[in-house]
């Protein structure tokens, strides 16, 4: 038995000796007896806060989502809250949960531990979108919040997103400090599990109303929607939390013809109608597209289980539905927002947008042309929320987003918000329809003006401990020996966000990157291509983002240039042997 195996066995045995329930001990003993990779993956490490908080497969073990790992995380968060707000008479937090299996169980454990520590807890009565939790924290004046969700991960996963008093997810130093507090808890006996009922309050419809009222106030073209009120929309929550609030939001905007997919309105953490409840996956929209064909709809929208991401499908020039990727949707949305702000005379020179470093550069081009500041941040919407906090009361946030189908308009929510996004995307589509255009037709017109940007994402999955080590080795190899040419184009610039260095390969100069350290590499090629590489913070995969660009002289050349850009991306992928 190797040293690491001994270490893992000892970690597992502590669960046989500690104050764990009998069912848990029986499952741990079975794992020890099996000597399987499942034992290793369950105990080789502790679950950590990544870009999305605490997330993992449900089951027994230190590397799994269960009563004890959630309890320890919550105790650590409670200790940190009390340390950070020592003079506050009543510290409070909000808790929400999505449609995942064990959703109310984990939400209940969180409420138990927080209230047992003397912290006032507001718990939503039923499942709610993650962005509404962000809104509730600020609306109720809470010091923190937690939502039980694993976003679009497979059914065996659950998670725990932690938020701070600004409504944004935990960022440095809070994320690291919470982990430090959790690490100080060496036994589950240190966790207070006995709920104080007097400190637990149920919330629901009253918050919904204020949240929806705020969303309704974002509409820029109510007159357009009035003219296009018959515009047909198919929406699916994919068995998740958008089921009530997205249709209500669309109706509040003035849309009358909203069609559901009844089979996918069913709340079910097993997500029975899809292979993956991820709106980035084409198959997740299949049922909604079939419904759209049947009813003659103009737009299809689908949100993930916790309703912070949205995928869309639009009619092409042949009358067929095609899916747009996250960059394309962000382009349409930001183009509409900035054009309407400018045309209505609302721009004062103090406005800004925010995007992540792996999101299309066309958003920056659109902003600059409209006299609006564009900010780049690391991957993760928490960094966009940070910029909102830093500029609050000084500048005006119009909107922003990331290529992974997450967008935000307005600043009363501090996370990506698919309820807001669905409403504003629908308004963008209605605005285009008012000019006898579809979103499919509008996109090439934007490319003619700003350049034809095309992006795609390829993920390489490597599960478990061995997979994590392989992913890290891939990053080490790219960092120490970057390719000289990719797809016959010379590498001219490397950005290493871990070392915070931007290196000009041509002249050998270096300059500092003024962003937090992050395990991300970007390669910029002579032909204008950009390749970004980063391990996922929430899933066992390494992600490759490809961005290419060409001039589009007129709309008639769209398909030809599109094919050219496809071939360039294909060449890059083949050259990297992915």
Residues 338-362: tens digit of each pLDDT: 999 999 999 999 999 999 999 999 9
* Predicted confidence (pLDDT) at residue 190 exceeds the cutoff of 90: yes
**Running DSSP on this structure, what letter comes out for residue 54?**
E
Contact predicate 249/316, CB 8 Å: no
Mean pLDDT over residues 41-46, rounded?
Answer: 90
Domain with CATH 3.40.120.10 in the chain: 46-203, 211-450
- Compute how many other C-beta atoms are within 10 angstroms of the C-beta atom of residue 267: 15
Q: What is the pTM of this model?
A: 0.94
**Active-site pick, 151, 374, 404, 532:** 151
- The overall average pLDDT reported for the chain is 95
CATH 2.60.40.10 fits 46-203, yes or no: no
In this prediction, residue 466 carries a pLDDT of: 87
Q: Which two tokens stand for residue 544?
A: 């490759």
Query: Any residues with CB less than 8 A from the CB of 472 and at least 6 apart, and which?
Result: 535
* Predicted confidence (pLDDT) at residue 229 exceeds the cutoff of 80: yes
| Cα-Cα-Cα-Cα dihedral sign, residues 391, 455, 479, 489 | negative
Given strand 310-315, what is the order of strands in its sheet?
257-260, 232-236, 299-303, 310-315, 321-324
Domain with CATH 3.30.310 in the chain: 452-575
In this prediction, residue 52 carries a pLDDT of: 58
Q: Phi/psi at 423 (nearest 5 deg)?
A: -65, -45
How far from the centroid of its chain's Cα atoms is residue 331's Cα?
A: 17
Mean pLDDT over residues 143-172, rounded?
Answer: 94
* Predicted confidence (pLDDT) at residue 539 exceeds the cutoff of 80: no
Omega before residue 173 within 30° of 0, cis: yes
Q: From residue 121, how far is each of 76, 128, 195, 363, 484 by CA, in Å?
A: 16, 16, 11, 39, 55
Mean pLDDT over residues 94-116, rounded?
Answer: 98
Least confident range from 131-145, 251-265, 455-469, 521-535: namely 455-469
332/323 Cα distance (integer angstroms): 13
Which has the closest alpha carbon to 455: 561, 558, 360? 360
Mean pLDDT over residues 275-301, rounded?
Answer: 97
Query: Any residues with CB less than 8 A from the CB of 189 and at least 6 apart, and which?
Result: 18, 19
Radius of gyration of the chain (CA): 24
Q: Which two tokens stand for residue 577?
A: 């042997």
Mean pLDDT over residues 210-237, rounded?
Answer: 97
The question of whether 151 is a catalytic residue gets the answer yes
In this prediction, residue 109 carries a pLDDT of: 98
Query: CATH code for 452-575?
Result: 3.30.310
Query: Any residues with CB less than 8 A from the CB of 220 and at least 6 apart, and which?
Result: 336, 337, 340, 341, 344, 427
* Predicted confidence (pLDDT) at residue 49 exceeds the cutoff of 90: no
Query: CATH code for 211-450?
Result: 3.40.120.10
Q: Which two tokens stand for residue 401?
A: 């987003």
Contact predicate 378/518, CB 8 Å: yes
Which has the closest alpha carbon to 562: 544, 548, 578? 548
* Predicted confidence (pLDDT) at residue 25 exceeds the cutoff of 60: yes
Contact predicate 134/414, CB 8 Å: yes
In this prediction, residue 3 has a pLDDT band, given cuts at 50, 70 and 90, of: very low
Query: Any residues with CB less than 8 A from the CB of 392 and at least 6 apart, and which?
Result: 411
* Predicted confidence (pLDDT) at residue 92 exceeds the cutoff of 90: yes
């Amino acid at each position: 038995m190797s040293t690491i195996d001994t270490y893992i066995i000892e970690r597992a045995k502590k669960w046989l000796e500690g104050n764990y329930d009998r069912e848990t001990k029986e499952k741990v003993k079975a794992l020890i007896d099996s000597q399987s990779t499942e034992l290793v993956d369950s105990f080789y490490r502790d679950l950590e806060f990544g870009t999305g908080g605490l997330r993992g497969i449900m089951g027994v073990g230190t590397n799994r989502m269960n009563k004890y790992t959630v309890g320890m995380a919550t105790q650590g968060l409670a200790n940190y809250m009390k340390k950070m707000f020592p003079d506050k008479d009543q510290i409070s937090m909000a808790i929400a949960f999505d449609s995942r299996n064990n959703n109310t169980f984990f939400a209940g454990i969180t409420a138990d531990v927080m209230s047992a520590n003397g912290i006032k807890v507001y718990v939503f009565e039923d499942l709610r979108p993650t962005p509404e939790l962000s809104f509730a924290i600020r609306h109720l004046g809470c010091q923190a919040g937690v939502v039980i969700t694993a976003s679009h991960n497979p059914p065996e996963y659950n998670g725990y997103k932690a938020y701070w008093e600004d409504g944004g997810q935990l960022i440095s130093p809070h994320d690291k400090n919470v982990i430090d507090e959790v690490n100080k808890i060496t036994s589950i006996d240190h966790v207070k599990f006995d709920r104080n009922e007097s400190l637990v309050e149920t919330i629901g419809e009253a918050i919904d109303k204020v949240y929806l009222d705020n969303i309704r106030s974002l509409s820029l073209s109510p007159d357009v929607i009035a003219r296009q009120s018959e515009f047909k929309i198919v929406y699916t929550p994919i068995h998740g939390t958008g089921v009530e609030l997205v249709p209500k939001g669309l109706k509040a905007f003035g849309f009358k013809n909203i069609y559901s997919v009844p089979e996918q309105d069913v709340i079910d953490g097993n997500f029975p109608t899809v292979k993956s409840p991820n709106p980035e996956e084409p198959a997740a929209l299949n049922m909604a597209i079939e419904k759209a064909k049947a009813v003659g709809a103009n737009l299809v929208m689908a949100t993930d289980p916790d309703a912070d991401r949205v995928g869309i499908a639009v009619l092409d020039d042949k009358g067929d539905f095609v899916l747009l990727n996250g960059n394309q949707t962000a382009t349409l949305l930001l183009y509409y927002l900035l054009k309407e702000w400018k045309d209505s005379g609302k721009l004062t020179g103090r406005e800004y947008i925010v995007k992540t470093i792996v999101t299309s550069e066309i958003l920056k081009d659109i902003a600059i042309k409209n006299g609006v500041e564009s900010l780049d941040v690391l991957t993760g919407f928490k960094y966009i929320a940070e910029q909102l906090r830093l500029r609050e009361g000084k500048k005006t946030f119009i909107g922003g987003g990331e290529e992974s189908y997450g967008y935000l308009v307005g600043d009363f929510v501090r996370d990506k918000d698919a309820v807001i996004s669905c409403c504003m995307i629908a308004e963008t589509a209605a605005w285009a329809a008012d000019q006898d255009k579809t979103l499919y037709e509008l996109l090439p017109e934007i490319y003619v003006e700003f350049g034809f940007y095309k992006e795609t994402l390829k993920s390489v999955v490597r599960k478990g401990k061995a997979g994590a080590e392989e992913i890290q080795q891939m990053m080490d190899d790219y960092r120490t020996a970057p390719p000289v040419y990719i797809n016959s184009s010379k590498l001219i610039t490397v950005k290493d966000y871990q070392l915070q260095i931007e290196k000009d390969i041509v002249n050998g100069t270096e300059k500092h990157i003024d962003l937090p350290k992050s395990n991300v590499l970007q390669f910029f090629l002579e032909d204008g291509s950009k390749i970004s590489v980063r391990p996922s913070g929430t899933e066992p995969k390494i992600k490759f983002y490809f961005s290419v660009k060409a001039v589009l002289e007129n709309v008639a050349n769209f398909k030809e240039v599109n094919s050219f850009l496809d071939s360039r991306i294909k060449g890059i992928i083949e050259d990297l042997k992915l």
